[in-house]
Amino acid sequence: LLAAKYRPYGVYRDARSVLVIHNLAHQGVEPASTYPDLGLPPEWYGALEWVFPEWARRHALDKGEAVNFLKGAVVTADRIVTVSQGYSWEVTTAEGGQGLNELLSSRKSVLN
């Protein structure tokens, strides 16, 4: 929200956002059809875009399209903090990253 709605207009330009992760299992995933209700510009859809793996879809015609609020926070946060150094490492692994491991690995410079 800070990056999408305020910074482009110079408002809160010097404000920073910190994301604290304590359980990646709770990501705030909703149907993609909810995106327009968020009031965010269309060009920000990619920051929240989420596609479920085929094994997690309900039926063969399900495209798995969704929005993931935690993913959006990871993409836009100025700093990402976890509950421990061990968990900071764990969330960057395939086993502990709950599908966000590659994104979190790419943000290691701001992940503590």
Looking up residue 40, the CATH number of its domain turns out to be 3.40.50.2000
User: Looking at the 3D structure of the chain, how many domains does it have?
Assistant: 1
Long-range contacts, stretch 87-92, CB < 8 angstroms, 24+ apart: 87/21, 87/22, 88/112, 91/21, 91/24
Report pTM.
0.86
Per-residue pLDDT of the chain (112 residues; tens, 9 = 90+): 788 888 888 888 888 999 999 999 999 899 999 999 999 999 999 999 998 877 777 788 778 899 999 999 999 999 999 999 999 999 999 999 999 999 999 999 999 8
Give the residue numbers spanning the domain of 17: 2-110
